[in-house]
């Protein structure tokens, strides 16, 4: 499942490519036909993300809105395990800070779409949508296709607010008071902190990689109950989530292994990119103990028993 930084990057890309336009919106698959008809022809406004949830408002005329405001129709998408957006277009269809040249986004990776270099100089025509495409956004210079989402619906402002009410603070939004709210939510629970970091009602956005490596970076055992982690250490964890996930938004890739631990000749991607995630059975970069793995709430958990207390 894409982690929160990916959804924030998608919000940036779709804003750069479609906001201010009246995109043609269709549902080639047919499962979103009513929603597509409602949005089609309206002006796309700036998209936003909260954790792993994507929201894009549409209105008859240009306007500025805040997330969850009444008035616009809000496209709400949660990618889930299998959802992805793909982009295709000509040389003018470029979101410089988010997707670069025409790209296909799958999970945590971005790949140039086939023939992208040729299309930048040749006359571009939109590709025929696959029958798995739930939603297609189209403007004269490019398209964005959504496939396989867990949720895809049009919401009112009050319905958006109801979704947000179920979510914890998002480290990438880092609004005033979010750090204190995160600390309070964790310390109210006897559940292991490793499970709470993945609980979207406690903190919205982190997935398995950020959970594993940020807990390692601040030295907290994922097995320690939330109510037994000090406010100080939870504050450091929040700050590290903010920092690590912001780097993910900037770079488009998760690289959570501290620079001082990146080997000159890594065995594989896990050794280069991660501190403990998917490194079970290998030596901890910090203390030399063996990285452990177990299942927690149905997900694989990785940590160092030697230096996470």
By three-state DSSP, how is residue 79 classified?
coil
Rounded to whole angstroms, the Cα distance separating 300 from 282 reads 16
Do the beta carbons of residue 132 and residue 148 sit within 8 Å? Answer: yes
DSSP β-ladder status, 43-44 and 292-296: unpaired
Residues forming the active site: 2-3, 52, 299
- Local structure of 244: helix, strand or coil: helix
User: Which is nearest to 148 in space by CA: 200, 100, 95, 84?
Assistant: 84
47: Cα separation from own chain's centroid: 13
> What residue spans of 3-150 are helical by DSSP H?
4-18, 33-39, 116-119
């Amino acid at each position: 499942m894409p982690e929160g930084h990916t959804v924030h990057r998608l919000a940036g890309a779709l804003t750069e490519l479609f906001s201010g336009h009246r995109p043609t919106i269709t549902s080639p698959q047919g499962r979103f036909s009513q929603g597509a008809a409602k949005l089609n022809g309206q002006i796309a406004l700036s998209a936003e993300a909260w954790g792993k949830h994507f929201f894009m408002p549409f209105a008859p005329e240009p306007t500025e809105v805040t997330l969850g405001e009444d008035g616009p129709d809000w496209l709400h998408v949660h990618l889930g395990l299998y959802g992805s957006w793909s982009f295709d277009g000509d040389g003018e269809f470029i979101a410089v800070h988010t997707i670069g040249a025409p790209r296909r986004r799958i999970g945590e990776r971005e790949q140039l779409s086939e023939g992208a270099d040729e299309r930048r100089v040749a006359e571009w025509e939109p590709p025929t949508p696959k029958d798995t495409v739930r939603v297609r956004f189209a403007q004269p210079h490019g398209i964005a296709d959504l496939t396989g989402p867990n949720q895809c619906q049009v919401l009112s402002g009050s319905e958006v607010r109801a979704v947000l009410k179920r979510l914890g603070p998002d480290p990438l939004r880092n609004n005033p008071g979010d750090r204190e709210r995160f600390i309070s939510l964790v310390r109210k629970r006897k559940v292991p902190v490793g499970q709470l970091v993945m609980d979207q009602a406690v903190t919205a956005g982190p997935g398995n990689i950020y959970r594993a490596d940020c807990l390692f970076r601040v030295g907290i055992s994922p097995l320690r109950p939330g109510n037994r982690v000090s406010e100080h250490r939870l504050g450091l964890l929040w700050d590290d989530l903010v920092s690590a996930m912001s780097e993910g938004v900037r770079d488009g890739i998760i690289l959570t292994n501290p620079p001082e631990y990146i080997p000159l000749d890594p065995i594989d991607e896990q050794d280069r990119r991660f501190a403990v995630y998917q490194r079970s059975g290998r030596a901890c970069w910090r203390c030399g103990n063996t990285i452990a793995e177990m299942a927690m709430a149905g997900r694989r958990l990785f940590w160092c028993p030697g230096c996470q207390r």
